[in-house]
Amino acid sequence: MTVKSPADTLVLGGGGREHAMVRMLSESRVTGRIHCAPGNPGIAALAETHAFDICDGTSVRDFCLSHGIDIVLIGPEAPLVAGVADTLREAGIPVFGPGRDGARLEGSKAFSKSFMKRHGIPTAPFNICRTLGECERALEHREPPYVIKADGLAAGKGVFLPEQKSEALAICRELLEGGVLGDAGRAIVAEDYLPGRELTVFAVTDGKSYRILPPSRDHKRVYDGDKGPNTGGMGAYSPVTLPGGLMDRVAEEVLEPTLSGLAAENILYRGVIYMGLMLREERDGVKISVVEYNARFGDPEAQAVLPLLSGDFGSLAQKTALGELEEYPETVFSGHALCVVLATEGYPGEFKKGAEISGLGRDAEFEDTYVFHAGTAVNGEGKIVTNGGRVLAATGVGPTFESAKERAYARASAIRFDGMHYRRDIGWSERA
């Protein structure tokens, strides 16, 4: 398979991650026209945006055929898990993103935990439970905090860390019998709690070669000091300073067995593998465990990692989609980046929409910064307004962690909307 150069490209998704992907594609020499569905007002400045059901493979394929799309990049998990990549590949369209079988690494925790066990990949000991009796037995030999996970996709709402066994069982009952998360909760993974510090590592693979991207860390709690409820991520930075040799160990202990496991199970994987890791200091060194896989870039980690790419992102995506990743240069990332999410007061709970946003058009005043849109919309008067919990992400890039942080916060503080809230301590763990 080949693609036309420059290649007319479709990106699926409409958050900050997809804005970052579109931005990098807009600087690519091998990318032609960029289309995005559904996109957002930030993306609309760089791409033609379209409204169709991105989880319906037939609609996506028909759009591609009628618009002469040469390659598709799938941003979020839902279309991956729905098998959109399979429908496109069957129609001869190259895709950056795994098919339904590979996306099960993210779409089914029961599958991904069993996969790790089958292939000797380090992860917390676990049980898969389909009845309340099985949950009771799984919790019997465990200690608090208990870790209860719904098997399927739950938009970040499927992981529970209760302190009491009674609470843990009540959650299991709601999932299994109350159906609170629908089919996603029809099976449960109960696992050991892993203490330590989290790390995100993305690898891009075409099923044969891989490229590891710089490690990043996101900050999931809504308030400074890692307080308050979990969110989709309030900010991230990259690279993370790590003990020497740690990334080589991630490749050897996690990524390579993951790729050989996929190959052994006849799963052709072309896209991103997100390794959500827990690092724990032990007497004999750092222990690495996999908390989760995702089948896509993280959000907001992508908004901190992709701007570090000095190579051509369009070429990286094309070579991955075509199975030619071997031809892509090895080291093309440099510098530091930090991204601050500007959220709406109340998020991740109830929040208002429709507040006018000021300070967006001032990028030229701020060196090496990006503002990525996530939850924004254009109102009846043509003004950009808030339309989600996570509204924008301000990213700063620089030669050092400090310079990246300073630039990100300078850019963030020039933006205003009613109820704007952001964390002031993104990157704290870099200096802890």
Residues that bind ligand AMP (CB under 6 A): 124, 147, 149, 159, 191, 193-194, 198, 276, 291-292
Residue 63 or 297 with smaller CB distance to ligand GLY = 297
Looking at the chain, how many residues does it have? 432
Q: Specify the amino acid at residue 82.
A: A
**The one among 151, 191, 299, 312 contacting ligand GLY by CB under 6 A:** 299
**The one among 298, 335, 396, 427 contacting ligand GLY by CB under 6 A:** 298
Site string for ligand GLY, 188-227 (x = CB under 6 A): ------------------------------x---------
- Window 371-430: residues binding ligand GLY (CB under 6 A): none
Residue 304 or 355 with smaller CB distance to ligand GLY = 304
Asked whether the beta carbons of 324 and 358 are under 8 A apart, the reply is: no
Taking CB within 5 to 8 Å according to partner kind, which of ligand GLY, ligand AMP, none is near residue 194? ligand AMP
Taking CB within 5 to 8 Å according to partner kind, which of ligand GLY, ligand AMP, none is near residue 231? none
Radius of gyration of the chain (CA): 21
Q: Minimal distance in Å, beta carbon 98 to ligand GLY? A: 16
Taking CB within 5 to 8 Å according to partner kind, which of ligand GLY, ligand AMP, none is near residue 191? ligand AMP
Q: Minimal distance in Å, beta carbon 429 to ligand AMP? A: 13
Q: Minimal distance in Å, beta carbon 218 to ligand GLY? A: 4
Beta strands in 165-209, from DSSP E residues, in sequence order: 188-191, 197-205
Q: Is 266 helix (H, G, I), strand (E, B) or coil?
A: coil
DSSP-based helix, strand, coil % in the chain, nearest 5: 35, 30, 40
Q: Does 301 bind ligand GLY (CB under 6 A)?
A: yes
Contacts 24+ apart (CB under 8 A), 314-317: 314/6, 314/7, 314/9, 314/24, 314/25, 314/28, 314/29, 314/30, 314/31, 315/28, 315/29, 315/30, 316/204, 316/211, 317/9, 317/25, 317/71, 317/73, 317/96
Residue 233 or 389 with smaller CB distance to ligand GLY = 233
Residue 226 or 345 with smaller CB distance to ligand AMP = 226
Using CB atoms, what's the residue nearest to ligand GLY? 298
Q: Is 252 helix (H, G, I), strand (E, B) or coil?
A: helix
Contacts for 243 with CB less than 8 Å, ≥ 6 apart: 285, 286
Core vs surface per residue 340-361: b (16+ CB within 10 A) or e: bbbbbeebbeebeeebebebbe
- Window 229-258: residues binding ligand GLY (CB under 6 A): 233
# chain residues binding ligand GLY, by CB under 6 A: 6
**The one among 205, 294, 376, 395 contacting ligand GLY by CB under 6 A:** 294
Q: Minimal distance in Å, beta carbon 402 to ligand GLY? A: 23
Residue 86 or 218 with smaller CB distance to ligand GLY = 218
What are the distances in angstroms from CA 314 to CA 15, 16, 25, 34, 198? 19, 18, 5, 11, 29
Taking CB within 5 to 8 Å according to partner kind, which of ligand AMP, ligand GLY, none is near residue 52? none
Residue 198 or 406 with smaller CB distance to ligand AMP = 198
What are the distances in angstroms from CA 271 to CA 111, 213, 252, 321, 403? 19, 13, 19, 7, 31
Closest by Cα among 14, 221, 30 to 22: 14
Say which DSSP state 12 is in.
Answer: E
Say which DSSP state 213 is in.
Answer: P
Stretch that binds ligand GLY, among 122-130, 245-253, 294-302, 341-349 (CB under 6 A): 294-302
Taking CB within 5 to 8 Å according to partner kind, which of ligand GLY, ligand AMP, none is near residue 91? none
- Window 100-119: residues binding ligand GLY (CB under 6 A): none
Asked whether the beta carbons of 32 and 54 are under 8 A apart, the reply is: no
Residue 36 or 341 with smaller CB distance to ligand GLY = 341
Closest by Cα among 289, 295, 324, 134 to 211: 324
For residue 145, cis peptide bond before it (omega within 30 degrees of 0): yes
Contacts for 426 with CB less than 8 Å, ≥ 6 apart: 219, 234, 235, 236, 237, 338, 339, 340, 405, 408
Stretch that binds ligand GLY, among 84-92, 117-125, 178-186, 292-300 (CB under 6 A): 292-300
Residue 34 or 393 with smaller CB distance to ligand GLY = 393
Closest by Cα among 273, 281, 280 to 254: 273
Stretch that binds ligand GLY, among 88-96, 264-272, 298-306, 363-371 (CB under 6 A): 298-306
Q: Minimal distance in Å, beta carbon 322 to ligand GLY? A: 26
Asked whether the beta carbons of 193 and 146 are under 8 A apart, the reply is: yes
Q: Minimal distance in Å, beta carbon 388 to ligand AMP? A: 20
Could you list the residues that contact ligand GLY (CB under 6 A)?
218, 233, 294, 298-299, 301
